[in-house]
Structure 1
Amino acid sequence: MEQRRHWWNGKWGRLARRDVYLRADADRWHVEQRAGGAEGVSRYYEFGDEDEAYDRVRALLAGSDGWRELTPRPPG
């Protein structure tokens, strides 16, 4: 499974931190919504289409949190 994108709400601490991950595995797309950092609780969504996965990501990122993308940029 390849991680494609990662967003973070910019907050530190187990109670405030939120992360959203977009991953691809062959022809399946996976979105993980994590609350509480590395030790937190996750909710997973699976999609057969990239557009559907991005729709879920957009819905999860909607709101007042100051989301930041942490996805590393490719060299070049």
Structure 2
Amino acid sequence: MYIRTDGELWEVEARAGGGDGRSKIYPCPGRQSAEILAGAWMAGQSRWQVVAP
């Protein structure tokens, strides 16, 4: 799960299978909505790894 911004637009990328896996990008209207979306997807999943920026 990645949260990205260019300073105006925000998006969440959900990736399965590591760097070579599948991914889907979801645009979000702001930081808070991106964090809520990413947090909801990660909730209860023990197999997620946190990657520092």
Q: TM-score range by the shorter chain?
A: 0.7 to 0.9
Give 1:47's aligned residue.
28
Identical-residue share of aligned pairs (%): 36
In 2, the alpha carbon distance for the partners of 1:28 and 1:40 equals 24
**Which consecutive unaligned segments of at least 5 residues does structure 1 have?**
1-19
User: Match for 2:5 among 17, 24, 38?
Assistant: 24
Normalising to structure 1: TM-score of the pair? 0.61
Q: What is the CA RMSD across the aligned residues, in angstroms? A: 1.4
The one-letter code matched in structure 1 to 2:30 is D
The one-letter code matched in structure 1 to 2:11 is H
User: Match for 2:15 among 17, 34, 48?
Assistant: 34
Bigger share in helix: 2
In 2, the alpha carbon distance for the partners of 1:64 and 1:31 equals 17
CA shift, 1:66, in A, is 4.5
CA shift, 1:60, in A, is 1.2
Normalising to structure 2: TM-score of the pair? 0.82
Change (3 A) 1:67 1:35: closer
